[in-house]
Amino acid sequence: MSWIKRVVRIGVLSAALLSLGTGLLLASPAGRLLDQALTAHFAAMNQRREQQQLTWWDGIQCQLLYTGIAGGGRLFFPEGGKIIWHYLHGHGTDLWLSPNYIRASPVILRSLAQLKEGESRQFRFRQSEDWRLSYAVNPFSLKKNSGNVLLWQLMEFETGAETFTTLNYGMGQFQLPDALIYSLHPQTYTVYCKWQL
């Protein structure tokens, strides 16, 4: 039994050292080079998509990338993860999000303060103002009623190469062209969120 404990300890220590090493690498200047390389890689892939020259390897990378964003994103950015998953697998049906986080977002509260009762308007914001909200809806429309608020956005990503989302993973960030998702043939839909005032 003692050899099993020893193997487990070595495995746990190795995993901890690997995680620490990876974290240090990503937080270092070498991590910024990795960020730049990822940005360039995805931009080149999107250019091949525009020219209808995606390779089978590009297709696999896109599947892994967006499955990872949709699945992994649900842990840290649940609304954004749900939106990407639904964009790829929702068959164009509407999606209703829980208001728990959205109604307390500083961006939403500031936007609501600009609306009179019965008024609606579209809002856009910088991602750094609320990373979590930016991965879900940006821009978004709000309508302020007497007793509730309705938020909505048509989920149809931009097709131009100049439109991108910055993915911030805590120790760095890289840019992903919004149009790259079209390599997976997503279905346009509308996302909604409603809560009481």
For the chain, the average pLDDT equals 87
CB atoms within 10 A of CB 157: 17
Distance in angstroms (rounded) separating the CA atoms of residues 188 and 112: 26
* pLDDT given at position 19: 45
Give the type of residue at 4.
Answer: I
pLDDT in tens, 127-185: 999 999 999 999 999 999 999 999 999 999 888 878 899 988 778 888 999 999 999 99
State percent of the chain over pLDDT 90: 67
Q: How far apart are CA 143 and CA 179, in angstroms?
A: 28
Mean pLDDT check: name the lowest of 79-83, 100-104, 138-142, 158-162: 158-162
Element (H, E) at 64: helix 56-76
Residue 11 pLDDT: 53
Q: Is 50 exceeded by the pLDDT of residue 20?
A: no
Q: Any idea what DSSP says for residue 123?
A: E
pLDDT at residue 169 in the model? 79
CA dihedral 142, 144, 148, 150 (to 10 degrees): -20
Backbone angles phi, psi at 15, to 5 degrees: -65, -40
- Residues forming a β-bridge with 149: 144, 195
More confident call, 143 vs 7 = 143
Task: Please state the pTM of the whole predicted model.
Answer: 0.80
Please give the residue that has the higher pLDDT: either 75 or 110: 110
DSSP states along 170-183 = SS-EEEEEGGGGGG
| Mean predicted confidence (pLDDT) in 46-74 | 91
